[in-house]
Amino acid sequence: MLPAEFYFTYDTLTLSQKLLGCELVHDSAEGITAGIIVETEGYLVGDPACHAYRNKTKRNAPMFGVPGNIYVYQIYGMYLCVNISSGGEGVGEAVLIRALQPTQGQELMQERRSRHKSASGKVLKEKDLCNGPAKLVQAMGITKLHNNFLVYNSEIYCNEPILADVEIVTTTRIGITQGADLPYRFYVKGNRFVSRK
DNA sequence: TTCCGGATTACCT
DNA sequence: GGTAATCCGGAAA
């Protein structure tokens, strides 16, 4: 497992890139699910798209926790996304996890994902399990209860890189209007589990 | 207290 | 490629 120091060592944009290739694991009561992080975005101080841009609130408080603190928020009334706090304690920055390449518990991922979908019962292709921030939250069984869990000291944690020396593509973030030109999105080049090229 | 719009997804054509 | 679904947080009044 990656130690606490890993999250303290790097600034937010560097950490966003360092996390690519690492395995995110959730050891839950239902079973273990895991996947390699293949896509991330950084949200920084002074960045208008960052939830902590204006000030600290009840919702964004987990972003101000120690690096490695988990921040889960609801979006569009029906989805959740997960972030890892970064940039130092008391600094409102975080890394958004946007896509995973499944490595463990794909069956459980299927079940959790179909639980959320409307009663179509269709079996998803493996690449559709975790190729989006809200999708991977469903597949991994992450909820708001995981707010303020530490990613190096809880049932959710990161392992050392599985993909080594990956080639990283740097581009603009998805789904935002403020700060849309900032190159704060990173993904593993050529990986088919990325949400968008 | 009211109002607005969002770090998305699934399903349709 | 277009759009409905769906509701909470935060800003303004």
What is the CATH number for A23?
Answer: 3.10.300.10
**Residue A9 within a domain:** yes
**Residue A109 within a domain:** yes
Confidence of residue A143 (pLDDT cuts 50, 70, 90): very high
The confidence score (pLDDT) of residue A164 equals 83
Q: Give nucleotides in strand C with any atom < 7 A to a protein C-beta.
A: 5-11
Q: What percent of chain A has pLDDT over 70?
A: 98
SS3 readout for A5-70 = HHHHHCCHHHHHHHCCCEEEEEEECCEEEEEEEEEEEEECCCCCCCCCCCCCCCCCHHHHCCCCEE
Residue range A123-132: average pLDDT? 96
**Residue A42 within a domain:** yes
What is the value of pTM for the model shown? 0.96
- pLDDT tens for A45-99 read 999 999 999 999 999 999 999 999 999 999 999 999 999 999 999 999 999 999 9
CA gap A181, A29 in Å, rounded: 41
The confidence score (pLDDT) of residue A116 equals 85
**Residue A134 within a domain:** yes
**Residue A149 within a domain:** yes
Cα dist. A98→A29, A53, A108, A119, A172 in Å? Answer: 24, 20, 19, 25, 13
Q: Which nucleotide is nearest to A60 (CA to C1')?
A: C9
- Give the total residue count for chain A: 197
Residue range A133-155: average pLDDT? 98
**Residue A194 within a domain:** no
| A77 CB inside 7 Å of strand B | yes
Residue range A159-188: average pLDDT? 96
Q: Which of A5-14, A113-122, A145-154 has the lowest mean pLDDT?
A: A113-122
Residue range A27-33: average pLDDT? 98
Confidence of residue A122 (pLDDT cuts 50, 70, 90): confident
How many Å does it take to go from CA A137 to C1' C12?
A: 33
Residue range A23-39: average pLDDT? 98
A173 pLDDT higher than 90:
yes
**Residue A67 within a domain:** yes
Residue A99's domain comprises 4-188
**Residue A197 within a domain:** no
How many structural domains does chain A have?
A: 1
CA gap A100, A40 in Å, rounded: 10
Q: Give nucleotides in strand B with any atom < 7 A to a protein C-beta.
A: 6-11
